[in-house]
Structure 1
C-alpha cells in the first residue's frame, strides 16, 4: 500500500472524484479539506445544473465526459441514481448551425459517442413544447444526461472514506507549506496538515490557492445566469413521482441557451448576457461565512432578452414567468480547457482546475493515474498546465481570453478560427514586410502567423482549382495553391520564428540529450538529428530536431512549452536549458532555386557536398550571422536560417533582394501544411501524441535499436501494433476534408482523420488517419464529411518524391 500523504483542497465534484480515484488505486492517506459544509460546498458544484454533453472537438474532453457518464451511472445515493441518461438534443434554427450539427455528428462518430441527426418533427416528438417551424433539425445524443452533482459527491465520499480517506469541512486554507522546492503541507485556520502531494481542486478559488503556493493559475471566474420558471403543468404530467426529468437536455445554441427539467419547472441557462468577471471574496473574513460564495444575485435585466428568446422557441413559456434565478460562478481559462498536472516550481503541488461537472470524473481519473502511475492513460497535452506561453499568462490576457471563451461557449467555431483580441501580441521581426505583402494572419501560441499573402493572388490566376464548400473555403485563398506551386518550382521564404528553439549546453548536455531522445545524437558538431521524446511507456511526447553546434552546445527545435518543462524536470545540474525562441527568429528558404539564392550571400560552401542534408553551419549571409540547418519540412531543397531578433529584418531584406532574380515569394502556413502532407511529415499533437508509439505512427526510423533512452524498455515489451497512422487520398479531386472526421471501412467506423489538406502537387486532398494496421495500399474507405460519405483510398507513403531526390540535391 502506498504511504504518500495527499491533501486535496476542495470537496466539490472534482475533489470527491479524485479522492475516490486515488483510494481505489491504493493511496489511502487522503485528506480532503473544504471551507464550507460538505453537504453544500461553496463552489460551482453546489449550483451546477449538471448537464453532461459528451461530444466535443477535443477527443480528450469527450473521453472525460464519457467516463463521467459511465462512472456516475454506476453510483447511487440514498437508493437514487447519480446520473439520469435523459439524452441531449441540440436544435438548429440557422443553416450555419444545421451544418455544424452535421460536423458535430461526425465528431461523435469519431470519438465513439452515439448520436443521430433528427428532422424538426422528430425534435418536436422529443420536446413537444418546441416550435418546430423554427427548426432546420437537431442532433440527438441518447447517452447524454443529467449528473446529480451533490449526490455524486456523497456517493464517492462514502467510498473514499471506506478505504481510509477523511473529509474535513469548515477548514479554510491560509497557506501552502514548502521546503527545498517541494510541498510539505497545507496550513488552515484549524491547523496544518502534512502532505507529500497537495491537489488544488478549488474551482474558481484556484488562483487564490495557487498564489499561496507561488504557482500561477491562469483562470478567470465569470458569472453565468440560471433561472427557473414557475410551475408548468405540462412538465409535471410528463414526469412521474420522484422523477426530476425525462426529456433530453435541450440546447438552443443559436441564442446561447439551454433548458432542463426540474420536475414541474424548467431551468434555463444563458450565455447570452454581458460577461460578468467576478473577483471572489477572500476565503478568510467573509462578511457572511454561511452564504453560498459561488452564487450571486440574479440580474433580471441581463436575462430579459434570453427570456424572450426562450418564449420564441418554446411558446408555452409565454404563459409562465421566471420565478427565481441566480448568477453562478464558473471558471474559464484562456483556451477554455482545464488546468491539470504537477507544478515544476513546487514539486508535489498539483492542479485539477477549471473542470466542469461534465468532465469531472474523467479529469479526476486522469490526475489520479498521473499521480499514482506517473502518467495518465489519456493524452492530456491540451490540458497540461504548462501549455501556455509566458505571454499568455498575464492577468490582462487571461481576463480577455477567458471572457471571450465565455462569449463563444455556444458559437459555431471553425477549427482555424482565432480570437480577435488581444492581437497582435507576438510578431516576428518580419511582420512589417509580411503586412506589406498582404499577409493573412492567424494565431498560434500568441504568434501572428501568416497563412498566405494576397500579393501572391495573381499567381493563382489560371490555376485549375476545385470548388470549395463554405466550411473549407473559410481561412483559405487561391494564393495558397500559388505559394505551394512556387515552392515546388522556384523558391519561397517561410517564417519559422514561432518554431520553439531551446539551447542546451553544459558538460552533461550530450549525455542528457542522448538519454532523453530515441535517435543517435552522438554525432560530431555540425550534425542535425531528427528524434523523439518518449515517456516511460514509450508514448511520443514530442518530436525534435537536435543540432549539435559544438561539443557541449545544442540547438533543439521543439513543439510546446511542455517540452521545455519535461526536459527541465529531467535535467541534472551539469545541463543548462534555455528557451531562446523570443530572442531569435528564423526563415525557411525552400525550393529548387534555394541554393541559387543563398550561395552568393556567403563565402561558405552551400553545395550538397559541402553542406549535406541534416547538417548545420554557423556562418554569415551578407552582414547577418546565421545558424543554418539543412532541413526541409516541405520536401524541397533548402535551409532553415536562424539569427537574433535584432537582425531579423535585415536577414529578410537580404534574402528578398537576392531572391528577386530567382522569382522568390513569401509563402504561408497553409502552403507549408499542404507540402508537408505530401511528404508525409507528422505534426505532433495532431497526428500523434503520447498515446501512440513510434512504429505505429510511422516514425520507427527515428528510434535507434542500439541505445538506451527513456521509454526503451516499454518499446521492447510492446505488442505488435494493431493500428497505424495511414495515408489516404480522396478519390474525387474536388473533395475536401479538414480533420477529425470519422473513417468508415465496409460501412462501420474504423478510425478518424488526424490532419488533412489539399495536395496541390498531387491534385487530391490528403488525409492521415488512425486505422487498423492490417489495411494495405489500395483499400477503399469512406470519410464522413458533414454527413456525406467521401470515398478515399489507402496510399503508400511518402506520396511525393519517395526517393528524396529533390531534398538531397
Structure 2
C-alpha cells in the first residue's frame, strides 16, 4: 500500500536525472503505488549524456561490503528480466578476475570466501582453466583466477529505457532537455523543482544526478560529498585471432588496474592505472555544448600508454591491433568509495541517490524506494547513508583527497584494518602527545587517530609465547597487543575512549522522548546508566546506546555514528535539546583488577562497589580534574570510563599516569580492547548486528523491556517468532589459527553463515569469531573458510570469559 502525502493523495515525486539510477527508481516507486513521478533530465533521451551513457556495464557482484554485493545481485536479477526490442538487458557471460602475483592469488581466495559468505557462486580456478575461458591470455603470466559464472554485462541504456517505459505506463512522466535551476523549499521541507521550463511541485525530490550531484545539492543548500573523476576507456580495432567463441567473460587484471570486455570483434579496455583526473561538476558543459557528451572528455593517450603495454602483455593478440577510439569518461567517487543515499534531515523530502555505479543501480533504487514508501529499506544501508560522514570529513579538501585515493586504490588489495594515508592526523584526543611519547601505532576511524598498541609495552611482550601468524593476519597487528591484554587482566591499563561518540539530551521531555525511542527502561534515578537499543519499526537494530541519566533532565549518551544524532534530531520534540558533545570532551577507560587501587586515592568520593555499583555514574574529581565517572567495562574488568572536558584531558591523563606507576599502569590500544571485548561477548554495532538483525537473535534481548510502555519497534518485536538464526560465538580449534571477519562458515559441509567480527583471545589462548548461523548447540563443530583453507571451529557457550562477572562486580 502506498503511503499518502500531506495532501491525502499519492505523493508527488520529482527525480532529477534520467540515468540508470533515476530510471530504476522511477520503476521501483511506481511499482509500489507512487505513480505521481516526474523524471527531469537535462539531456536528450534515451542517452542523456551522463555516466550511464558511456558505462561499459561490467557487473562483478563480489564485494567486501555485504550491502553492495546484495545490491549488485538484485541488479543482475532485475536486468536479467528486462528486454528491449527483443534483446536482453543483461548478458550472463560470467566474470573472471586474474592473478599474476602470489599476493593477488591469495586475495582471490579471500574473494571466493566473500562470495560464499554473500551467497554468490564462484570458485578459484587454475591458470589452464583461465585460458579456456579467455583464449587470448598469455598463459605464462597467469597464476589462476576467480570465476563467477553469474556475473556479466549490463546494458545500461536499454535497461534504463525499459524501466522508464514501465514507470510511464504506470503514470510517471519523463521530461528531457530540461535543466534544473533551483530547489524550492518552505519550512524545512522541499516543495518543488525549478527548471528552465517551469516549476514542478513536489513532496519529495530525489537527486539522482550522478556527478552533477554537488550542483543539485548546492541548489538545496546541501553539500554532497563526492568527486567526479575521469576514467579511461578504449576500444581496439578488430582482432584477426579467433577468440574461442562469443561470450567471453568480463575480465579483470587488477594487478595492473585494468579490465576488459568484448565488443563483437573488438576488445574494450578500462584503466584505473592513470593519475586521478578530477572534474569540477560546476564546469561540465551542457549537452549541446559538449564535443561528444557531457560525461565524455578527450582521450589522453599519454596516460593510457602504460596500460596499453600491460594489456598487450596479458593479451598478446592485441599487439596486432591499435586503439581505434577512446575517451575519458566521468563518474563519481566518495571519500570511502560507497554511495551516498538517504533523506536530508535539514530539508525534509530531499533525497540523495548519488555516487552509484551501474553495478548497484537497481539494488540502490529498490532500497531507496522502500525507504521512501515504507519508511525503511530491506537491506542495511549504514555504510551508504549520507549521515555517515563526520563534519570533519565533509570539507572539499578532504573529499577531494580521499575520493582521489579511492580511484587509485580501486583494484588494490586492501586490508580491513588498513587506514587511509592522508589527510592525517585530522582528529586527535588531548592525550595525543603522550601517546606519541609512548610509541603509539595509530590506525584511523571516523577521522580519529586511534592507538592500536604502544611500542613502550614491547618489553612486556618479550616473555610471551604466541603462535606465528600468516602474513595477512599479521598486518596492522603486533604481539604487543597480547601483552596489553594481559596487563589489563592482571594489573591496570588506560584506554583512550575519546573517539566514542557522546551525545547530550536535555530538557523537560528528555526521559519521555528517550523512553519512546529506545528499548530499555530509562526511568531510573539520576546516576544510573543503561544499555539500550535504537530500533526501526521492523525491530531492526539501528544502533546500540549507553545512556547515563546524570540529572533529572540531562542524559549523556554513548553512541556509534553521526547517524545516531541525526535520528534523534529527526524525532526530538521541541522541549528538548540534542547535541553532539564529542569534540569538546574526552574519555579515559581505566580498567583492570588494580583500577580501584589507582583511582580511589585520587578522589574524596567513595568509589567502592557498594557506593558506586556497576552501571552507575557520579560527578567527582580525579586530582584537580572534574570528571563524570561511569562504572562501565567493555573489557570485562573492574573500572570506569572517566569523562572530562577536552581542555582538562591532558591533566587527567597525567594525573592517572603518575598515580598508576606504583601499580604498573600501562597505556593499551584498540587491538587489546577488541580481544578483551570478544572474550566477554560484547557486540560491536555495524559489525555484529545491523538494521537487518533483531535484538533476540543478536543475543541482546536483555536490553529490551516490553513492559515499560510503547517504543519504536515494540509491535514488530511482539510479532516475532522463534529466531531462525543467531549471532553465535565460535572458538577456533587450532590455537594458531586466526580469522579476521566476513569469512564463510560451513555447517555439515554447506555454507551456512558468515563471520562478523573476530580476534585472538589472549586470555583463552585461541581465536574467537562471532558469526550469523542457524541456531546451533554449544559443542557443534563447524568450519571457517580462510583463504581457501577449511579451519575447524566449535560453537561456544557465552560468555567465554568470567561468566559469573567476578572480575567486574567487586
Q: Same fold by TM-score, threshold 0.5 exceeded?
A: yes
State the match for 1:598 in structure 2.
599
Alpha-carbon contact 2:135-2:244 (below 8 Å) kept: no
What is the distance in 2 between the residues matched to 1:793 and 1:698?
18
Q: CA deviation at 1:42?
A: 1.8
State the match for 1:242 in structure 2.
none
3-state DSSP of counterpart to 1:582? coil
What is the distance in 1 between the residues matched to 2:60 and 2:304?
24
Q: CA deviation at 1:142?
A: 0.3
Which of 27, 34, 50 does residue 43 from structure 1 map onto?
50
State the match for 1:397 in structure 2.
398
What is the distance in 2 between the residues matched to 1:598 and 1:279?
55
Confirm whether residue 9 of structure 1 aligns to residue 9 of structure 2.
Answer: no
Structure 2: runs of 5 or more not aligned: 5-9
What is the TM-score when the length of structure 1 is the normalising length?
Answer: 0.98
Which of 741, 753, 756 does residue 754 from structure 1 map onto?
756
State the match for 1:139 in structure 2.
146
3-state DSSP of counterpart to 1:233? coil
1:259-291 residue CA offsets vs partner (Å, 9 max, x unmatched): 000001000000000000001355787771684
State the match for 2:188 in structure 1.
181
What is the distance in 2 between the residues matched to 1:566 and 1:108?
33
Q: CA deviation at 1:235?
A: 5.5
Distance 1:286 1:25, change over 3 A: closer
Which of 14, 25, 29 does residue 36 from structure 2 map onto?
29
Query: Deviating runs (4+, > 4 A) in structure 1?
Result: 281-287
State the match for 2:227 in structure 1.
220
Distance 1:157 1:285, change over 3 A: closer
Q: CA deviation at 1:131?
A: 0.7
State the match for 2:119 in structure 1.
112
Within-5 A mapping of 1:479-628:
479-628=480-629
What is the distance in 1 between the residues matched to 2:259 and 2:30?
36
State the match for 1:474 in structure 2.
475
3-state DSSP of counterpart to 2:388? coil
What is the distance in 1 between the residues matched to 2:714 and 2:288?
58
State the match for 1:233 in structure 2.
240
3-state DSSP of counterpart to 2:281? coil
1:667-697 residue CA offsets vs partner (Å, 9 max, x unmatched): 0000000000000000000000011110100
1:474-522 residue CA offsets vs partner (Å, 9 max, x unmatched): 0011100000000000000000000000010001111111111111111
State the match for 1:717 in structure 2.
719
What is the distance in 2 between the residues matched to 1:131 and 1:691?
45
3-state DSSP of counterpart to 1:178? strand
Q: CA deviation at 1:237?
A: 7.2
1:535-561 residue CA offsets vs partner (Å, 9 max, x unmatched): 111111100000011010010000000
Distance 1:458 1:425, change over 3 A: same
State the match for 1:160 in structure 2.
167
1:203-255 residue CA offsets vs partner (Å, 9 max, x unmatched): 0000000000011100000000000001113357733xxxxxx0001100000
Q: CA deviation at 1:464?
A: 1.3
What is the distance in 2 between the residues matched to 1:780 and 1:694?
25
Alpha-carbon contact 1:236-1:263 (below 8 Å) kept: no
Alpha-carbon contact 1:121-1:132 (below 8 Å) kept: yes
State the match for 2:742 in structure 1.
740
Residues 315-324 or 255-264, more deviating: 315-324
Which of 62, 68, 93 does residue 61 from structure 1 map onto?
68
1:539-595 residue CA offsets vs partner (Å, 9 max, x unmatched): 111000000110100100000000000000010001100100001000000000000
What is the distance in 2 between the residues matched to 1:455 and 1:723?
43
3-state DSSP of counterpart to 1:140? strand
What is the distance in 2 between the residues matched to 1:319 and 1:286?
36
1:387-415 residue CA offsets vs partner (Å, 9 max, x unmatched): 00000000000000000000000000000
Alpha-carbon contact 1:172-1:284 (below 8 Å) kept: no
3-state DSSP of counterpart to 1:234? coil
Alpha-carbon contact 1:687-1:768 (below 8 Å) kept: yes
1:320-378 residue CA offsets vs partner (Å, 9 max, x unmatched): 11111000001000100000100000000000000000000000000000000000000
1:192-213 residue CA offsets vs partner (Å, 9 max, x unmatched): 0000000000000000000000
State the match for 1:255 in structure 2.
256
State the match for 1:194 in structure 2.
201
Within-5 A mapping of 1:697-716:
697-707=698-708, 708-716=710-718
State the match for 2:351 in structure 1.
350
State the match for 1:243 in structure 2.
none
3-state DSSP of counterpart to 2:579? strand
3-state DSSP of counterpart to 2:215? helix
State the match for 2:768 in structure 1.
766
Aligned-CA RMSD value: 1.0
